[in-house]
A = this chain, B = another copy of it.
């Protein structure tokens, strides 16, 4: 192994169209990925989503859905009925997210425990 960091990293190591920022763009919302999972099986109503998303408030769910609608991954359909009915579903673009999400979930199943354990370890030691 005579390959101990051959060359330094250049300032343009990340090109302008680099997809790495994808992760923080997508991952910043706490509930977004759970919502995507809930919509995987078909359209769901607002109050129907609140059942599996234990602990979410109406406000946060509405905010998350609006932002996902804005991103084009979720479609909102309001029916002029009474009582009101609103359905949310994944767009084709939203469905494409299932692939990387599965990959992340697979990682989580194998390694998330180690990571959280290490995090708790340091919390105990460092205070």
Measuring CB to CB, which residues of chain A are less than 8 angstroms from any residue of chain B? 3-5, 8-14, 17, 19-30, 32-34, 37-38, 41-44, 48-49, 51-52, 54, 70-73, 93, 96-97, 99-101, 103-112, 114-116, 118-119, 122, 126
Q: What residues of B have a CB within 8 angstroms of the CB of A119 in the complex?
A: 70-72
**How far apart sit A97 and B108, CA to CA, in the bound complex (Å)?**
10
A107: nearest chain-B partner, CB-CB = B100
Residues of B within 8 A of A21 (CB): 33-34, 108, 112
A103 to chain B, nearest CB (A): 4
Give bound CA distance, A22 to B104, whole Å: 7
By beta carbon, the residue of chain B nearest A22 is B108
Contact A8 B51 (CB under 8 A): yes
Contacts of A29 in B (CB 8 A): 24
In the bound complex, do residue A118 and residue B19 qualify as a contact, i.e. CB atoms below 8 Å apart?
no
Given the complex, which residues of B lie within 8 Å of A22, measured CB to CB?
Answer: 104-105, 107-108, 112
Contacts of A107 in B (CB 8 A): 19, 22, 96-97, 99-100
Per the bound structure, the CA–CA distance linking A13 and B33 in Å amounts to 13
